Amino acid sequence: MLEQLLIFTRGGLILWTCKELGNALRGSPIDTLIRSCLLEERSGAASYNYDVPGASYTLKWTFHNELGLVFVAVYQKILHLLYVDDLLAMVKREFSVIYDPKRMVYDDFDETFRQLRREAEARVEEMKKSKQVMFKPISSLGKKQGQQMQKSGFKGGNGKKSGGGESGKDGADDDNVKTDFLENGHSNGEVINKGKENGNHNTKTGAFDVNKLQKLQSKGGKKANVVVNKVSKEEPKKKPAKKNRVWVQSPPETKLDFTDPVSENGDAHMAVAPVVEGASMMDKDEVVSSDSETEDEDESETDKKVDSKKKGWFTSMFQSIAGKANLEKADLEPALRALKDRLMTKNVAEEIAEKLCESVAVSLEGKKLASFTRISSTVQAAMEDALVRILTPRRSIDILRDVHFAKEQHKPYVVVFVGVNGVGKSTNLAKVAYWLQQHDINVMMAACDTFRSGAVEQLRTHARRLQIPIFEKGYEKDPAIVAKEAIQEAARNGSDVVLVDTAGRMQDNEPLMRALSKLIYVNSPDLVLFVGEALVGNDAVDQLSKFNQKLTDLSPSTSPRLIDGILLTKFDTIDDKVGAALSMVYISGAPVMFIGCGQSYTDLKKLNVKSIVKTLLK
């Protein structure tokens, strides 16, 4: 049963709802659809499933892009209503006729909707009946044909045994003998030729001659034995004898152990000079991507690829001047195909590029093309708006403000760094600590990577250079307990921020993912940062989606914490291949909060959305 059908504008003004359909919806499926699907450029999907405790809905929608209207149908997920798509298309057609931008109430559309709904339901019922009628005679006909085939087969066999026959029947039998030989894989030219010469068309000529077959097998066996004997007669080649290695017994003269002497508490005996590297790039407004390429790329090449249709010069010029009536999907496909290839060359995951192009196609289909504009430029402008909307954070990412707010409540601000192996979590944690230090914030590091050898020593080295306290408990400890004790120690010592370093783990490693889920559940951090490489392509989708999925499945809480932000590392090594930022933001919905772009503590930047979009569309 259809639960609800709504018509509203892109600005959010509800024009009409069906008051006769069911009770009030549980939860907020329409708001969730707008927030997580339509605004996130996922409108190219066929449907959206909304699941909350006590309710499970499926939502389908369509757009009227020229009028700026959205039509949404809501029904129970367990039901498979076949008429919803047709009903939405008919409602869209009829409502667009009576739509007036100055009009706000459409009570007279109720009766029209009842008729359209009855018509759609009747059409589906007729379709079901026609399918049932079509399947019944086919099955019965198949049984009759099978019985006739069996009878005719038995008759043919009797005819062969009787040996009587006309020439046509004999010829058919002869053909059957040939095909039997070929199908069984034992066809022999001599046997077939003999049958033709003798003119004997009896079925006995088609039988296998067992004696001849045994003779052929024996000949083949003899040849094989001869080959084996020849091989056995050859003597195996002698392998060269292995020479004994001569080991040098004298001890090495050079010193191999350069480790600094460290006490049991982890404090070095030797003093380390504080690092002075200047201001962090986080406080500078710089362009993230390189602008080595020219701003205006040669658009003539793309226009040639996109508009490579068999049109005359006058026709194409007239359309660009007068504009086209309404854009259709076939008109958009060449431009979208070129745009998808361009995004994939910039390291955007294929799945993400395809979904973005589908969403842009849905938003442009039915719109009127303005005068003096090309389809390629219209598609590119729509894609640019979509990319800016996706990459722009939907919430505040001002960490300094959040730190001061936590400081007023007399508790430390906790940041947990998570990610796969080798992406640079510890190094970029030190960069964030250096940036916070420059804003007069007391920082403490927590060495919760108790799995990888050398992880504690690596973080201890950064802490020495930055003159930052570090909390460590060594290896083979529960990271959740270590983080909890570190937060308690920070509260006692008056530290403002606790930066928690965790072990690198692959998204499929369930034991380590379970430990990470426990750490987040026990300590409830203020920010969970996913550290990812800017070098990844399609793997970015797999990493982030599985990290979020594991954190959801393995958490004992009913409302588990997911990834709150992204830190992209090695951004200085990718030139214009900046697509990983788009893939990660699209799949997780979390904003890019930091960008690592070098090896020093100052090499930490903010994401420049306009620069990224410009680089993606070059």
Q: What DSSP string describes 463-509? A: HHHHT--EEE--SSS-HHHHHHHHHHHHHHHT-SEEEEE-----TT-
**58: which 2 tokens?**
């499926």
pLDDT of residue 13: 87
Please give the DSSP secondary-structure letter assigned to residue 65: T
Q: How far apart are CA 593 and CA 607, in angstroms?
A: 7
Residue spans of the chain under pLDDT 50: 138-146, 149-206, 221-233, 256-270, 287-314, 316-322
pLDDT of residue 272: 55
Separation of alpha carbons 214 and 551, rounded Å: 68
Three-class secondary structure of residue 617 per DSSP: coil
List Cα–Cα distances, 584 to 85, 392, 538, 565, 597, in angstroms.
32, 13, 10, 10, 18
Q: Structure pTM?
A: 0.65
pLDDT of residue 402: 93
Give the model's pLDDT for residue 65.
83
pLDDT of residue 203: 43
* Residue among 431, 403, 434 at smallest CA distance from 527: 403
Query: What span, in angstroms and rounded, lies between the C-alpha atoms of 379 and 334?
Result: 10
Instruction: Check residue 292 and give its pLDDT.
Output: 38
- The reported pLDDT for the residue numbered 463 is 94
